[in-house]
Chains A and B, each alone.
Chain A
Amino acid sequence: MATAPTKKTAAKPTTKAATKSAAAGRLGVPKTYKLYLGGKFPRSESGRSFAFADANGEFLANVSQASRKDARDSVQAARKAQGGWAKATAYNRGQVLYRIAEVLDGRRDQFVAELVATGSTARAAEAEVEAAIATWIFHAGFADKYSQVIGSTNPVAAPYFNFSLPEATGVVALVAPQQAGWSLRGIAAVVAPAIVSGNTVVLVASELNPLTAISFAEVLATSDVPGGVVNILTGFVEELAPGLAAHMDVNAIDLAGVEDTTLARDLEATGAENLKRVTRPRTFAPRHVGELNEIVRFTELKTVWHPIGV
């Protein structure tokens, strides 16, 4: 679990990495968990990090502690990527999402091991990775279909074709679910429905398991997802969410994993300043994944009146 940000336990390789490398007769290569911002893996601009411990309280890794400025930079990266991503064809976005599932599937062992290290049972970890992959495939398939489901042709009393179609809301800030068993799966559950329609996102990773979020960023970085479409910040919700809620260039915010009810209410009020679409905190259950509403909430309907000729 995350310890206090100021206290930094000595950075030593994880026991597992040490054993493995010792067996191979070489030095251990402890992984540095950094942020994922604009398609790159920078350290926090503030230079801060915090020690992350495994379920038994043993040191696991140092994790970057993102600052408000990192959040600002992420929004900038997301904004820059948004036009291009929304313009990509639905078919192309579907392919990219499918590719995420492919790469994730290829690295399932790594994720299972990491989830186990952070407190899952082997069986639960495997089920979670499976569910995450399934979520990505589901949304990949939905990429060129949701528009037909949400959109409509409207009867009007004049010689016009009148139809409504959904377009991306823009830049969406997401607070990942903090539920146990919903780290990798929770990311899929909030990110996939947001980006499938052409939004770009800034994700505040779960405080319970920031490691998996950054490992997942490595999947994104190798899946043809354009840099900036998904940006991942590790750190503390309390520090990062208010800046994102107040940011005038963020069009929507999903408070999924904000557990402090007072904070959630404040964020909702702050978000109203530029009429952000705000989604309230919620508890995730398998039945919610793939709900059409998860996609609809970050789209805007555009209605077109097209004159009918003879």
Chain B
Amino acid sequence: MALAESQSLRRNEPTDMTVGAVVDAAHSVRIDQVGVEERAASFTKRSIKTDAKLWGLDLAIRTMDLTTLEGSDTPGKVRALSAKAIHPDPTNPDIPSVAAICVYPNQVPVAKRALEGSGVHVASVATGFPSGQVPFSAKLDDVRAAVDAGADEIDMVIDRGAFLRGDFATVYEEVKRIREACGDAHLKVILETGELGSYDDVRTASWISMAAGADFIKTSTGKIGVAATMPVTLVMLDAIRDYWELTGIKIGMKPAGGIRTSKQALHYLVMLNETLGLEWMRPELWRFGASSLLNDVLMQLRTQATGAYSGPDYFTID
């Protein structure tokens, strides 16, 4: 990843706002559910063809967190995935590497070794992923273990139990302390929007995470039925814009879960472009959390190159 580019971004630090002030800032705007859903749907109607499509698909790969989060993950599987992360299509050197691979803490050392020198980051989920229902001390240990093993990025989950019972202070404090434990590792905060209930809650959780020092906010774990959706992502992008207007700091966005096709990925990129603009369209500020999306993008790129529709037979089964 271009170091110069990432240095030009000022890193988010935990603010000294009180939790009450953060929630007030979030609530300064109320979400119009119908409006958001209509607006989000409108992004799916743009026609993205030829050069723009190729650029978008290339960006989708460059901003992808190639993910495997299964109980059945083995070092072998992580190594295979790492190889794929570096050269997504071994037959075509023009295809860029993905941004990062996303694994459980136990697999971080394996991934780190496999990706050494490639520029591909290692992201690790932590803090009792996916439910976050573990004691806070265990969450801290989880994060420290991942960071010590060499994770460049930490994907934490917020305590939805605390959030839903109205205990925003706990959520705020936890994110702040996890951010501290991350050190140089970048922190992505997973809101698990499918469990939050309303768009207003998504906005509140976004603000709490950003004010507590998140580098990225992320929609979902991918472990429950409802994952990333366009309207939820739009609400979060709007929160990011508001935070940027207030503080001048750019927070990254990561929709994750359920994005499986190139077409969906392009819809998200259209939304990103029309909400935050070109500035955000780079791996430092945008990620796709996905596992099966990569093969579909590769298939589309080959279709664009050869003019013939490709098939899953010609790509690896991960």
Contact = CB atoms under 8 A, between A and B. Distances in A.
Contacts of B310: 248-249
A243 B313 CA distance: 18
B71 interface: no
B280 to A, nearest CB: 31
A270 B310 CA distance: 13
Interface string B7-41: 00000000000000000000000000000000000
Contacts of B311: 79, 247-250, 274
A72 interface: yes
A250 B308 CA distance: 11
Interface string B301-317: 00000011111111000
A247 B312 CA distance: 11
A249 B313 contact: yes
Contact of A72 (B307, B309, B312, B313): B309
A273 interface: yes
Residue among B308, B310, B312 with the most chain A CB within 10 A? B308
Interface residue SS majority, chain A: helix
Interface residue SS majority, chain B: loop
Nearest to A245: B308
A208 interface: no
A203 to B, nearest CB: 18
A73 to B, nearest CB: 10
B307 A248 contact: no
Nearest to B307: A246
A72 B314 CA distance: 16
A132 interface: no
Contacts of B307: 246
B242 to A, nearest CB: 38
Contacts of B308: 243, 246-248, 270, 273
A237 interface: no
A51 to B, nearest CB: 28
Nearest to B311: A249
Nearest to B314: A248
Interface in A123-139: none
Contacts of A250: 311
A75 interface: yes
A75 to B, nearest CB: 7
A55 B124 CA distance: 69
Interface in A75-106: 75, 79
B77 to A, nearest CB: 23
A72 B312 CA distance: 13
A79 B310 CA distance: 12
Contacts of A72: 309
A239 B103 CA distance: 46
Interface string A244-273: 001111100000000000000000001001
Contacts of B312: 79, 249
Residue among A79, A248, A273 with the most chain B CB within 10 A? A248
A247 B299 CA distance: 12
Interface in B19-74: none
A247 B307 CA distance: 9
A45 to B, nearest CB: 12
Contacts of A247: 308-309, 311
A82 to B, nearest CB: 12
Nearest to A244: B309
Interface string B73-89: 00000000000000000
Contacts of A273: 308
Given A243-B309, A246-B308, A249-B309, 19 more contacts: A72-B309, A79-B311, A243-B308, A246-B307, A246-B309, A247-B308, A247-B309, A247-B311, A248-B308, A248-B310, A248-B311, A248-B314, A249-B310, A249-B311, A249-B312, A250-B311, A270-B308, A273-B308, A274-B311
Interface of A: 72, 75, 79, 243, 246-250, 270, 273-274
13 contacts: A72-B309, A79-B311, A79-B312, A243-B309, A246-B308, A247-B308, A247-B311, A248-B311, A248-B314, A249-B311, A249-B312, A250-B311, A274-B311
